[in-house]
Structure 1
Amino acid sequence: MYLNNHSYYSLRYGAISEIELLEMAQRHGCHEFPLTDINNTSACLNFIRKAPSFDIKPIVGIDFRNDAQQCYVCLAQNNQGFLELNRFLSEHLHGEKAFPDQAPPFNHSLVIYSFEKLLALEKTSFLANEFIGIGLTDINKLRFSKLSEFTDKLVVLHPVTFRDKRDFNTHRLLRAIDTNMLLSKLPESQQGKPGDKMYPLASIEKAFEDYPHIIENTKQLLSQCNIAFNFSKDRENQNLKTVFDSADTDYKKLVELCESGLPKRYDSITDSIRQRLTKELSLIKQQNFVSFFLINWKIIQYAKSKDYYHVGRGSGANSIVAFLLEITDVDPIELDLYFERFMNLYRASPPDFDIDFSSWDREDVTRFIFEAFGRNGQAALLGAYVTFKHSGAVRELGKVFGLPKHEIDKLSEGKYDPQKLDKLSKLVLQYAKYLHGKPNYISIHAAGILISEKPIHYFSATHLPPKGFPTVQFDMHIAEDVGLYKFDILGQRGLGKIKDAVAIVKKNHPDVTLPNIHNAKPFFEDPKINAMIEKAECIGCFYVESPAMRMLLKKLGVRDYLTLVAASSIIRPGVAKSGMMREYILRHKNPERRKQAHPVLWNIMPDTYGVMVYQEDVIKVAHHYAGLDLGEADVLRRGMSGKYRSRDEFQAVRDKFIANCRERGEADEVIFEVWRQIESFAGYAFAKGHSASYAVESYQSLYLKCYYPLEYMVATINNGGGFYRVETYIHEARMSGAVIHVPCINTSSVESTIKGKEIYLGFQHLQGLEKRTMLKIMSARVDGLFNSLNDFMERVSLSIEQLDILIRIDAFRSFGKDKRSLLWEAHYKCNHITTSEFQQQLFRMHTKDFILPEFTITDLESAFDQLELLNFTLYNPFILLQTPPTSSLLTTDLAIYLNKIVVIYGYLVTAKNTGTSKGERMFFGTFLDQKGEWIDTVHFPPVAKKYPFRGKGIYRITGKVVSEFDFLSIEVIKQERMPYISDPRFDVTYNRKEITKITRKIL
């Protein structure tokens, strides 16, 4: 009876979920119920999936509106109708076009116009699929309208958007947020009506008792609508089914590619390799995933044709087929990667490939995918929901209630006394709770692309975000539910660093022949590289440079590829939280400790000493220890993260896990400890193939860092750094023997460059220097180097503000003049030459040359200029201290002070904020000592609260030197940020004397 129903996916309009709508419909005795969100189909598939469990036949459609004004409500009669509605909506969303007053002639959809709309349109003729919607408030008007004569076209059209007054108030707040206006100024035209809620069916029938044909027409209309998607375990794979002519051709091509890949990947093709390949190919064909592999292969082939570097990871890295197709560089035979994590007969979803490209190359690869597979509307980016969080909701609500900014800040940050809040502030907090978790807007999944057999609009409407690619209106969970499996194409700076480093090495060492960087196996055996890893000298290298990873590498004493693979997963938060990181380290270093492993777990995971380290360990434990089948085990693994955990199938598998273990005679104490470990870490661990892929890339970057450290650091700097700020990588380059120069107009480029051991920072590092200024300099320099400030100013038209930046960073030092003299000269000339920054001078301008006094530019002055213009200084930061350090203790001295209290000075690099099991804040700090070596600190909650970090700078640290697994750190007792000396550039007395001296000299 209800044809127009809104969930909260009627974004910034609706207030209740699609499930809550179904619950309401069930309570009111509905057996057929439509969902018609406003210009949106986000909830449709999940609505269809869940409706049968409420004994309701689902119907879906769209409420088409221009702004908040309804044009018409359309219902899909079947799946083809849903397709045409999605196409119509998408066309208008993509083009940001208003919907026409009248709907197009749909073939499989029903169109309902509101009574008021038809009066305005003066529409008096109707197609077979068009109807007149009569609301509860329209009944009396109908008696006096000619529309009453269309007895077979009249249906009930009563919108359902709210449950109660609170929902209506929430709706009004959402409308105010959406229109960016005060709640008190929100016009009624932007709102629904308080009566837009669900009434008992009997009440509806009573209201229309004089028009029984309207009730009958409405029932008849609902009966015409039937839509179905398969959400069961045996659902059809909806991805593109064939890449070439047919399924047989695809399979033959896949086999051919594997056969040609065998001799490239293996020196000796053993029986075990053959057996693994045969097994995988058979299952891939049986599961209809041949095209999935071929699509990924085509993507990689395109990338290779463009010389784009890539890393293939995810569970697909457990596959020898993926290895032979060069989708991944991880050998599953060498690593004994668990086949069932990659694919099994019970697994409905295909193996997951995450393919990383450099951030620069990713956009072109995405474009290729849409051109190659999306020409018939079969490709789209995967959507994601951005939901209201407490802080953001408070800020939005504070604005619509008209609170001043300082009040909003206090509420958002939680810095208030609840007893002293006024009524409006309490309302803000109250409704922020209601909004929390509700969708705010649709965004884009970080990496997912869908390539479907049917047009993508068969499943969803699409919108067109700034990236310019169609994006579906649902997330990855819904996609998987209906049988659409994503292709993950990600951007990663690490690959850009490797690619750029190789190019820089070739330029800086033209006589050097580099090995094939894509073949990392020789690097695994290189003693110099492994020695670097053992000492954690990995700054700048992919995934192994963070303070936590440096600590783990030293604690484990990592000296080989396989241990690095384990470390890549152990570092994940879930493994640490479950206590398995510490246990793994203990067993790795102490063989006697391994005897404590549970015998079954030891047999399942001997390579990790019976410790769960990888995602597939969950499958192994569930299958071999708890007796679950592989399908149930995979449900368990997937259920450890995201919304799957709340699903019925996950809860059933959990119960079976416990019951099976009890039947096998395991004590509850052991069962629940194993379950605790699974539950605490599975959602935050890597698949082994994923870790192995990361370790391969780590070794590639480590090779470059080991043999070409300066070139690699330049590539790192040019790619925006990594875990640390750019300043840290400049420091690392200097520690490796580089001479670092600030930008120079005759030597530097936009990016940083290297010649021999000299690194010139790029213009891009100068704060406030515009991109167009950099391009002007590079363009003018094509005609020859600059020989004076006059020459520069004549060839490069700049504002005095841009010129000032270049002079103060000493970019004109090659002219042999100090920068203060150049500043006087530049300001004088800019004041006497009336030329636009954008206007090139046609004639050489002669200006008077002044004899200025000789200036002394101190290191301190230059350091402060660099701090301002680069955000860091190339000088030792310790020269900036107001008071010299009272301690000369260095990191290299710490071992002799083990378990003793020391005082050490450190320049802050980074601080990690984390929480204890009790929810208290603590920190891990990383500093550089006075010689530039690393200091690692631990700040437990009492110290963290009493002595907080106060931003960048040098800290005097008092603490106890401790050692865990031979890794030295300082447990901080006290720390204080030491004051810097006053900036001499702002010394008023000094500047007055200088100005007086200069003026006298000029005059």
Structure 2
Amino acid sequence: MYLNCHTYYSLRYGTFSELELLNLAQQNHVKRLVLTDINNTSAGLNFVRKAPEYGVTPLLGIDFRNGVQPCFLGIAKNNEGYLELNDFLSHHLHDELEIPARAPHFKNAFVIYPFEQVLLNELEDFESHEFVGFSIQDLRRLPFSRLIKLKNKLVVQQPVTFRNKADFNAHRLLRAIDNNVLLSKLSEEEEADEGEKMFPIQNLAAAFSEYLFILENTEKLLNQCSIHFDFSNGRKPQNLQSYSGSVDADEKLIEKLCYEGLPYRYKEVNSSIHTRLDKELSLIKKMGFVSYFLINWDIVTEARNRGFYYVGRGSGANSIVAYLLRITDVDPMELDLYFERFINLYRANPPDFDIDFSWRDRPAMTEYIFGRFEHVALLGTYVTFKERGVIRELGKVFGLPKQEIDFLITGRYDQNSLDSMSKLVLKYGNLLKDKPNYLSIHAGGILISEKPLHWFSATHLPPKGFPTTQYDMVIAEDVGLYKFDILGQRGLGKIKEALEIVAYNQPEKHKHIDIHDIQGFKKDEIINNLIKTAQCMGCFYVESPAMRMLLKKLEVDNYLGLVAASSIIRPGVARSGMMREYILRHRNKGRAEEKAHPVMLDIMPDTYGVMVYQEDVIKVAHHFAGLDLGEADVLRRGMSGKFRSREEFQKVKDKFISNCRKKGYSDNLIFEIWNQVASFAGYAFAKGHSASYAVESYQSLFLRAYYPLEYMVAVLNNGGGFYRSEFYIHDARMIGATIHAPCVNNSHAANCIYGTHIYLGMVYLRDLESRVMDRIMKERRSKGNFKSLEDFLDRVIISVEQLAILIRIDAFRFTGINKHKLLWKAHLMLSKNDRLEHPKLFPPRHQKFKIPKLYTTNQETAFDQLELLGFCLCSPFELLAEPPKNQNGQRDLQHYLNKHIDIYGYLVTVKNTNTHDGKRMHFATLVDQHGEVFDTVLFPPVAAKYHFRGKGIYRFYGKVVSEFAFLSIEVIKMQKQDYIPDPRYAEMKTSKKLLKPKAVKE
């Protein structure tokens, strides 16, 4: 009887989930109801999936509105009707069109106009599929309306938006947030009526007892509707069923491509390769995943044709078919990759293929996919109200001052000392927390479907300009839609650009580079030594302090070691304590036999009985706990965080424990192993995934080893990496580069290199406008270098403020004229308000001004660079008010082992973390006076006493310790060091001060 039910996917309007709606229906003995969210279908699939558990027959529709103004309800008679409704809504959402007052002629959907809208729009002559809806509140007006004559057209339309007063209050807050107004200023027209509730079915019937024909009409309408989606375990994938037009043709094509790929991938093809290939092809065909593989093959083939670099990773990297199709570059035979992680008969979903492209190439590949295939959409996701965000929003709604909102966000308050308004913010913040706020886009998921994607939901059109589903990845998989992950990654941009830079900076060497010679890279001693010594600045996935530390502790000097390290570093392994245990077993091979359970060691000998990869979860669940492969995969997916809260996961967890008890394991052992499994929680990598990362790491390490300066320029031009730009610049200097500040004759917008000279890009000049950069580049390309400041001003349209930035950074140093003198000239030649927006027809005659001799010190230059670039190009130690009291550096740590050291360091990065009991501690990486990196740790007592206060130089006193031969300093005390006062603003600036030994004279 309920044709108009809302969930919280009626965004910033509804107040509870689709499951809570079903629970409400069960409580009120409602057996059949229609979910009709406002201009949204996010909840539809899960509503249908879960309804049978509540004894409810689910139906789907849409509440079409303009803002909060109702237009009509559309209720699907069947799946074709749902497609019609979704087509209609999507068209209006994509083109930002108003919903019309009158519905189109739907062939397979009913339309219900609310009583108020019929009166307001004077609607008449209803078609056979059109009805007029009455709520309980509307009934008192029915006897006096002309509509009483249309007995066969009237139905019950009692909206359901709230369960209680708290829901109504939450609704009002959501409406205020949506309208960006104070709650006290919220118009009643923006709110739903408080009476929009669900009543027991007998109460609803009683309310309409005088109008039994309305009840009969409603029942008749409901009986004509049904909706079905297959959520069974044996469901078929809904992805594109055939790549080439028929399943038979697809199967022949994939076989042909695989056998063509054998000689490319393997010099010698032995029987084990053939056996593995035949096994995979047989299973891929049986599971109906052939088209899925061929679509991925199509995408990467197009990428290669366009010269785009890519990395294929994910669980699909466990497949020899993927390797032969060149979707991945990981040889599963070499790594003995676990086939069942990739695919098994119990698994309904195909393997994951994450295909990474350069962040510059990804948009083109996305566009290609949308043009190449018919039914395509980006995968949606929900952005929910989080604690800090909801406090900020509610603080504004309740009219709290910004300072009070910021104070509440810190969480550092005594609940009892808060005023009543602040308490309300926190109270209702808990009510709204984790509810959907708005629809967004999955990081890289694309759906390619056999059916139109509107079969499953409407789509909206975010700023990226591609249709996007109104449901997320988990629901998509539930119904058999499996995403293709097309991701953007800066690491590939670095590799591609580095090769382009080598092509112009060292053209004779570029022609000999094969960046895909991974087998050669793996055997290269120079590259492997970089890994062993952790000289990996700028290299994909191996440059962070934590990874650098791990590589040294594990003494990694080969590809397989790097594959393991890529997964061991993940938080899941680290948090369980197994990262340390792995290192201990790696360094002491006898420890594995002593500490590991025999079953664990037997199933994971390569990792010393320690779970490191996602497939280890399957191995342990299958071999240790006796779960079948299907159950083990449910566990693995639960560990990845996709549906950890679902009943399926809980059932498998219970069976894991009960099976282990039946095998006679002690509870201590069972829960120790379970905790290791549980610690993976979305963080562990599949081994093939780690192997794919290691391949890209080797490519970047090759460039770092043989073309370090070109590679560093590419790193900088692609947004850097783990560290700030200044540290990549510092590293380039340490490996032989001469670094130059931006120059109008040699610099571009991005960084560039000539031989060993790197010119910083103008993009680093924070306040320099992009249009000014464009004008400089264009003029230089067309007419050559600038000869003087006057020549520059004759050719480039620029304001005096923008010119001053270039002069202060010394971009005209080729003139040989002191920059103070150039600034005088600039101000004399350009008035402050003269922006020279129109080029001159004839170069003007410039007056010769007599300007006194001026000087610039190195220290002034450094402070100009700090202001304009964000960092200085000299050593920051040159700016200390007091020079260091010693010369200690990283090179001295071995000498001070287990002793105390006094050392200075320029802060690179700090990692803040908590101990198991919640106390704060810090790991800091710094650069010493000699440019070398060292690491410190501040344990909780020290971290509570001393704080890092931003960039700068710190003096440390602490003990040098060694853990697995990795040296660091356990800090006892520290102090930030002062820089000299900014000489540009020093009082009483005299010529004597300017004529110090370091002065640079014109």
* TM-score, length-scaled by structure 2: 0.98
Question: Of the candidates 562, 575, 585, which is equivalent to residue 583 of structure 2?
Answer: 585
The answer for the alignment partner of 1:76 in structure 2 is: 76
**1:103-182 matches, cutoff 5 A:** 103-182=103-182
Where 2:209 maps in the other structure, the secondary structure is coil
The answer for the alignment partner of 2:888 in structure 1 is: 889
| TM-superposed deviation, 1:991 | 7.7
Contact 1:618-1:682 at 8 Å conserved across structures: no
Q: Residues 476-495 of structure 1, C-alpha deviation per residue, up to 9 Å, x if partnerless?
A: 00000000000001110000
Question: Of the candidates 397, 401, 405, which is equivalent to residue 402 of structure 2?
Answer: 405
Q: Which whole-Å CA distance do the structure 2 matches of 1:686 and 1:143 have between them? A: 67
Q: Residues 876-914 of structure 1, C-alpha deviation per residue, up to 9 Å, x if partnerless?
A: 001111111123211110111112221110000000111
| TM-superposed deviation, 1:392 | 0.4
Contact 2:709-2:756 at 8 Å conserved across structures: yes
Alignment of 1:253 onto 2:250: no
Q: Which amino acid in structure 2 is aligned with residue 917 of structure 1?
A: H
Q: Which amino acid in structure 2 is aligned with residue 170 of structure 1?
A: A
Which range moves more in the overlay, 659-668 or 504-513?
A: 659-668
| TM-superposed deviation, 1:777 | 0.2
| TM-superposed deviation, 1:407 | 1.1
Contact 1:584-1:608 at 8 Å conserved across structures: yes
| TM-superposed deviation, 1:640 | 1.3
Where 1:280 maps in the other structure, the secondary structure is helix
The answer for the alignment partner of 1:25 in structure 2 is: 25
Contact 1:985-1:991 at 8 Å conserved across structures: no
The answer for the alignment partner of 1:998 in structure 2 is: none
Q: Runs of 5+ in structure 2 lacking a partner?
A: 995-1002
The answer for the alignment partner of 1:479 in structure 2 is: 476
Q: Which amino acid in structure 2 is aligned with residue 136 of structure 1?
A: I
Q: Which whole-Å CA distance do the structure 2 matches of 1:865 and 1:53 have between them? A: 69
Where 2:823 maps in the other structure, the secondary structure is helix
The answer for the alignment partner of 2:719 in structure 1 is: 720
Q: Which whole-Å CA distance do the structure 1 matches of 2:770 and 2:992 have between them? A: 37
Q: Which amino acid in structure 2 is aligned with residue 552 of structure 1?
A: L
| TM-superposed deviation, 1:532 | 1.0
Which range moves more in the overlay, 662-671 or 352-361?
A: 662-671
Contact 2:572-2:680 at 8 Å conserved across structures: yes
Q: Which amino acid in structure 2 is aligned with residue 6 of structure 1?
A: H
Q: Which whole-Å CA distance do the structure 2 matches of 1:797 and 1:204 have between them? A: 75
Where 1:644 maps in the other structure, the secondary structure is coil
Alignment of 1:629 onto 2:628: yes
The answer for the alignment partner of 2:273 in structure 1 is: 273
The answer for the alignment partner of 1:536 in structure 2 is: 534
Question: Of the candidates 391, 394, 416, which is equivalent to residue 394 of structure 1?
Answer: 391
Contact 2:799-2:834 at 8 Å conserved across structures: no
| TM-superposed deviation, 1:584 | 0.9
Q: Which whole-Å CA distance do the structure 1 matches of 2:941 and 2:25 have between them? A: 54
* TM-score, length-scaled by structure 1: 0.98
Contact 2:310-2:356 at 8 Å conserved across structures: yes
Contact 2:236-2:348 at 8 Å conserved across structures: no
The answer for the alignment partner of 1:242 in structure 2 is: 242
| TM-superposed deviation, 1:201 | 2.1
Contact 1:710-1:738 at 8 Å conserved across structures: yes
Q: Which whole-Å CA distance do the structure 1 matches of 2:141 and 2:512 have between them? A: 84
Q: Residues 767-823 of structure 1, C-alpha deviation per residue, up to 9 Å, x if partnerless?
A: 111111111001111212111111101100111111111000000000110110000
Q: Which whole-Å CA distance do the structure 2 matches of 1:116 and 1:198 have between them? A: 20
Which range moves more in the overlay, 795-804 or 847-856?
A: 847-856
Q: Which whole-Å CA distance do the structure 1 matches of 2:51 and 2:79 have between them? A: 16
Q: Which whole-Å CA distance do the structure 2 matches of 1:602 and 1:200 have between them? A: 59
Where 2:232 maps in the other structure, the secondary structure is coil
Contact 2:800-2:831 at 8 Å conserved across structures: no
The answer for the alignment partner of 2:544 in structure 1 is: 546
Q: Which whole-Å CA distance do the structure 2 matches of 1:709 and 1:589 have between them? A: 32
Q: Which amino acid in structure 1 is aligned with residue 583 of structure 2?
A: I
| TM-superposed deviation, 1:210 | 1.1
Q: Which whole-Å CA distance do the structure 1 matches of 2:531 and 2:311 have between them? A: 21
**1:604-753 matches, cutoff 5 A:** 604-753=603-752
Question: Of the candidates 490, 494, 499, which is equivalent to residue 496 of structure 2?
Answer: 499
Q: Residues 722-755 of structure 1, C-alpha deviation per residue, up to 9 Å, x if partnerless?
A: 1111111101100001000001111111111111
| TM-superposed deviation, 1:515 | 2.9
The answer for the alignment partner of 1:999 in structure 2 is: none
Where 1:895 maps in the other structure, the secondary structure is coil
Residue identity over aligned pairs, in percent, reads 62
Q: Which whole-Å CA distance do the structure 1 matches of 2:670 and 2:202 have between them? A: 54
The answer for the alignment partner of 2:945 in structure 1 is: 946
| TM-superposed deviation, 1:682 | 4.9
Q: Which amino acid in structure 1 is aligned with residue 716 of structure 2?
A: I
**1:820-899 matches, cutoff 5 A:** 820-831=820-831, 835-899=834-898
| TM-superposed deviation, 1:993 | 10
Where 2:921 maps in the other structure, the secondary structure is strand
| TM-superposed deviation, 1:992 | 11
Q: Which whole-Å CA distance do the structure 2 matches of 1:275 and 1:987 have between them? A: 79
Contact 1:124-1:147 at 8 Å conserved across structures: no
RMSD value over aligned CA atoms? 1.3
CA distance 1:844–1:245, change in 2 (3 Å): same
Q: Which whole-Å CA distance do the structure 2 matches of 1:383 and 1:902 have between them? A: 54
Where 1:500 maps in the other structure, the secondary structure is helix
Which range moves more in the overlay, 417-426 or 170-179?
A: 417-426
Q: Which amino acid in structure 2 is aligned with residue 511 of structure 1?
A: E
| TM-superposed deviation, 1:419 | 2.3
Question: Of the candidates 425, 442, 454, which is equivalent to residue 428 of structure 1?
Answer: 425
Where 1:177 maps in the other structure, the secondary structure is helix
Q: Which whole-Å CA distance do the structure 1 matches of 2:972 and 2:16 have between them? A: 51
Q: Which whole-Å CA distance do the structure 2 matches of 1:973 and 1:784 have between them? A: 58
Q: Which whole-Å CA distance do the structure 2 matches of 1:444 and 1:245 have between them? A: 30
Q: Which whole-Å CA distance do the structure 2 matches of 1:390 and 1:913 have between them? A: 21
Q: Which whole-Å CA distance do the structure 2 matches of 1:910 and 1:733 have between them? A: 18
Q: Residues 315-366 of structure 1, C-alpha deviation per residue, up to 9 Å, x if partnerless?
A: 0000000000000000000110000001000011101000000000000000
Which range moves more in the overlay, 545-554 or 741-750?
A: 741-750
The answer for the alignment partner of 1:190 in structure 2 is: 190
Contact 2:640-2:680 at 8 Å conserved across structures: no
Q: Runs of 5+ in structure 1 lacking a partner?
A: 996-1003
Where 1:683 maps in the other structure, the secondary structure is coil
Q: Which whole-Å CA distance do the structure 1 matches of 2:141 and 2:955 have between them? A: 81
Where 2:29 maps in the other structure, the secondary structure is coil
| TM-superposed deviation, 1:835 | 4.6
Q: Which amino acid in structure 2 is aligned with residue 413 of structure 1?
A: T
Where 1:642 maps in the other structure, the secondary structure is coil
The answer for the alignment partner of 1:1001 in structure 2 is: none
Q: Which whole-Å CA distance do the structure 1 matches of 2:726 and 2:760 have between them? A: 11
Contact 2:384-2:436 at 8 Å conserved across structures: yes
| TM-superposed deviation, 1:552 | 0.2
**1:762-781 matches, cutoff 5 A:** 762-781=761-780
Q: Which whole-Å CA distance do the structure 1 matches of 2:646 and 2:863 have between them? A: 58
Which range moves more in the overlay, 119-128 or 839-848?
A: 839-848
